[in-house]
């Protein structure tokens, strides 16, 4: 599980697992792939890098049978692959973990594995499935209840189930789209270490990722895509440096994020959000959030680190008003809001970016301008009851989308057709739109999950700007690098309890790691 793991055999004498050349794919006339190519051999971990919309997922969906290429040559095991459907791909030994999970929320973990059963060696009975899930989970270094309903699991836990499913299906070619996006460093290392072992056993692993660290530590070769084309084909990772890869991805020199100018001492600033011993209980009566206290001052970004599933979802929903607070008090700018409805909290300037924007932030079927207006319409922002002013919504959306550089659609484009990064920018435009003199208090939960470098920077810059103008941000993130880079103070959640927040200068990675595991 360290960088010193043995590398795979040299690519020259390895058997070809995936071979794609000249792949074209257009959606409604817009090309997503423009002659892309990829060569993956058995025995290697092959990193696939690229910005959002570069065509990585489209390319991989060709291999796993979800899309048919318009043109191009696709070979698996050196033989042409022209079938469609995930089952055909599974027969060829291809398995993929998608970025947007393909699990059935009402089914248990074991039932989801059974549904996905495609090969003869996959477990056929619930009890067998449960046993093997437990075995593989243990070998991955975590525990999961095979009989838990997927809908009750956190995003991080669902991601693990996806990986488990792939392994239980005995795929020989594993494709993982951002598998560690919501995992902590330790969890990510465990999963990536396992992927290395699987490659060493002779499987082929394609790792779609944005994290340079993972590319450098765990991949043998790297392919970079930009604008539907392959701009770097299978270069050995040892010969690449981070700067060059980033340049290739975006096609221009990336400027490092502007270092944040922090106020010398935030303690004198007025308190914006004040939570005192708030608790949230699950339906079964056990606490999901256990007496958490924290204070957010104007100009501050407070980070909450922690392994996913330790109460972060419940905390975020309770602060915003989606879940009832069962104990403690919550104030915003001095006014008590623990029982206030969401509308009243928003009116006082509370804003949110949830971990999954399609869960409760954006409506995929709505047009971009409708989503931008969604929260203002109930406040009468676009006309009284009769005569909703859609013309003004569209005009304002036009301006907001231009300001936040939302591309790939007009205000009338259905939001589901926007790429992840652009949809997130749309959400930022809505949640960070400030009326004069009322900088918001933002709860941001994994706001950069799955975003490319440029979109990530846009999000981070928006958070800095918010803090600089008297706003405040509670950054709940499973990405420790993000928490460390952005926060003035850092707290750690473990089993519903919060340690800290501690000033940034007084805490380091090792301490945070220990607190995440519930020590310290």
Partner 1 sequence: MADRLTLTARQHVPPARQAAVLALGILLGLALATVVLTLSGVGPSAIIDEFVLYVFTTQSGLTQALTRAVALWLVGLAAVFALKLRFWNIGVDGQAWIGAIAASWVAIDDIGPPSIRLVLMLVAGAVGGMLWIGVPALLKLRLGVSEVVSTLMLTYVGFQAAQQLLYGPWRDPNTGFPISPVFDDPVERLARIGFGHIHQGIWIALAAALAAVALLQLSRFGFYAAAVGQSPRAARAAGIPVAATILIGVGLSGALAGLAGAVIVAGQEFRLTQHIAGDLTFSAILIALLARLTPLAVLPVGLVIAGIYVSGDALKAFYQLPLAVIQVLEAVILLSVVILDFFARYQLRLARPTVARS
Where along the sequence are the contacts to partner 1 (CB under 8 A)? 22, 26-28, 30, 68-73, 80, 82, 320, 322, 341-343, 346-347, 352, 354, 359-366, 370, 373-375, 377-379, 382-388, 412-414, 417
- Answer whether 431's CB lies under 8 Å from 442's CB: yes
Residue placing its CB nearer to partner 1 in the complex, 261 or 386: 386
Run of H or E including 323: none
Residue placing its CB nearer to partner 1 in the complex, 143 or 386: 386
Residue placing its CB nearer to partner 1 in the complex, 26 or 118: 26
Run of H or E including 15: none
Q: 189 Cβ partners below 8 Å, 6+ apart?
A: 1
Q: Would you tell me how many other CB atoms lie within 10 Å of the CB of residue 189?
A: 19
User: What backbone torsions phi and psi does residue 510 show, to the nearest 5 degrees?
Assistant: -65, -45
Query: β-strand 45-50 against 30-41: which pairing, if any?
Result: unpaired
DSSP classification of residue 67: S
Q: How far is the CB of 359 from partner 1 (least distance, A)?
A: 7
Q: How far is the CB of 283 from partner 1 (least distance, A)?
A: 13
Run of H or E including 157: helix 155-168
DSSP classification of residue 253: P
How far does Cα 302 stand from its chain's mean position?
A: 20
Q: Would you tell me how many other CB atoms lie within 10 Å of the CB of residue 239?
A: 9
Q: How far is the CB of 292 from partner 1 (least distance, A)?
A: 21
The per-residue b/e assignment along 402-420, b for 16 or more CB within 10 angstroms, e otherwise, is: eebebeebebebebebbbb
Residue placing its CB nearer to partner 1 in the complex, 334 or 378: 378
Residue placing its CB nearer to partner 1 in the complex, 130 or 373: 373
Residue placing its CB nearer to partner 1 in the complex, 57 or 487: 57
CB-based contacts of 116-124 (< 8 A; 24+ apart in sequence): 116/165, 116/169, 117/169, 118/86, 118/87, 118/90, 118/91, 118/169, 119/90, 119/91, 119/169, 119/170, 121/170, 122/168, 122/169, 122/170, 123/168
Q: How far is the CB of 101 from partner 1 (least distance, A)?
A: 17
Residue placing its CB nearer to partner 1 in the complex, 183 or 353: 353
Q: How far is the CB of 386 from partner 1 (least distance, A)?
A: 5
- Give residue for tokens 């539907």: 228
Q: How far is the CB of 440 from partner 1 (least distance, A)?
A: 14
Q: Would you tell me how many other CB atoms lie within 10 Å of the CB of residue 381?
A: 14
Q: How far is the CB of 289 from partner 1 (least distance, A)?
A: 18
Q: How far is the CB of 355 from partner 1 (least distance, A)?
A: 13
Residue placing its CB nearer to partner 1 in the complex, 80 or 268: 80
Query: Beta-strand (E) ranges in 28-100?
Result: 30-41, 45-50, 71-76, 79-80, 94-97
Residue placing its CB nearer to partner 1 in the complex, 167 or 442: 442
Q: Say how many Å lie between the first and final Cα of the chain, rounded.
A: 24
- Answer whether 352's CB lies under 8 Å from 361's CB: yes
Q: How far is the CB of 239 from partner 1 (least distance, A)?
A: 30
State the maximum Cα–Cα separation within the chain, in Å, rounded to a whole number.
72
Q: How far is the CB of 378 from partner 1 (least distance, A)?
A: 4
Residue placing its CB nearer to partner 1 in the complex, 76 or 198: 76
Cα angle at 227 between 222 and 228, to 5 degrees?
70
Residue placing its CB nearer to partner 1 in the complex, 46 or 345: 345
Q: Would you tell me how many other CB atoms lie within 10 Å of the CB of residue 100?
A: 11
Q: Would you tell me how many other CB atoms lie within 10 Å of the CB of residue 64?
A: 21
Q: How far is the CB of 193 from partner 1 (least distance, A)?
A: 37
């Amino acid at each position: 599980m360290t960088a010193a793991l043995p590398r795979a055999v040299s690519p020259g004498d390895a058997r070809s697992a995936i071979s794609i050349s000249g792949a074209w794919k257009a959606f409604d006339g817009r090309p997503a792939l423009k002659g892309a190519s990829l060569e993956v051999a058995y025995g290697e971990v092959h990193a696939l890098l690229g910005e959002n919309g570069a065509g990585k997922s489209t390319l991989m969906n060709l291999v796993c049978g979800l899309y048919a290429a318009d043109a191009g040559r696709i070979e698996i095991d050196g033989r042409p692959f022209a079938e469609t459907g995930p089952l055909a791909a599974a027969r060829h030994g291809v398995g993929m973990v998608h970025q947007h999970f393909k699990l059935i929320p009402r089914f248990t973990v074991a039932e989801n594995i059974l549904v996905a059963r495609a090969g003869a060696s996959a477990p056929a009975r619930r009890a067998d499935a449960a046993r093997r899930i437990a075995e593989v989970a243990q070998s991955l270094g975590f525990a999961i209840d095979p009989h838990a309903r997927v809908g009750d699991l956190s995003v991080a836990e669902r991601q693990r189930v996806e990986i488990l499913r792939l392994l239980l299906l005995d795929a020989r070619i594993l494709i993982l789209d951002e598998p560690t996006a919501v995992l902590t460093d330790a969890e990510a290392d465990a999963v990536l270490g396992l992927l290395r072992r699987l490659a060493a056993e002779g499987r082929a692993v394609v790792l779609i990722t944005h994290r340079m660290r993972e590319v450098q530590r765990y991949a043998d070769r790297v392919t970079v895509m930009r604008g539907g084309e392959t701009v770097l084909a299978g270069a050995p990772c040892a010969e690449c440096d981070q700067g060059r890869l980033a340049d290739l991805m975006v096609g221009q020199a990336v400027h490092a994020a502007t270092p944040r100018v922090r106020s010398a001492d935030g303690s004198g600033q007025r308190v914006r959000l004040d939570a005192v011993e708030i608790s949230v209980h699950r339906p079964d009566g056990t606490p999901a959030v256990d007496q958490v206290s924290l204070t957010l001052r104007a100009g501050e970004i407070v980070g909450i680190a922690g392994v996913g599933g330790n109460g972060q979802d419940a905390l975020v929903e309770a602060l915003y008003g989606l879940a009832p607070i069962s104990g403690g008090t919550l104030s915003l700018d001095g006014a008590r809001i623990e029982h206030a409805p969401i509308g009243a909290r928003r009116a006082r300037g509370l804003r949110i970016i949830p971990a999954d924007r399609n869960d409760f932030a954006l409506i995929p079927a709505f047009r971009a301008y409708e989503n931008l207006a969604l929260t203002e319409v109930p406040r009468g922002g676009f006309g009284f009851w009769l005569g909703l002013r859609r013309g003004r919504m569209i005009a304002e959306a036009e301006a907001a989308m231009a300001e936040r550089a939302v591309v790939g659609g007009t205000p009338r484009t259905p939001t589901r057709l926007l790429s992840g990064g652009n949809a997130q920018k749309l959400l930022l435009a809505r949640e960070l739109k400030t009326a004069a003199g009322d900088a918001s208090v933002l709860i941001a939960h994994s706001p950069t999950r799955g975003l490319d470098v440029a979109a990530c920077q846009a999000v981070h810059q928006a958070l800095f700007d918010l803090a600089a103008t008297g706003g405040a941000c509670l950054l709940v993130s499973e990405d420790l690098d993000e928490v460390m880079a952005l926060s003035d103070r850092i707290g750690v959640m473990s089993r519903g309890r919060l340690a800290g927040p501690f000033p940034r200068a007084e805490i380091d990675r090792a301490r945070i790691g220990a607190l995440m595991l519930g020590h310290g």
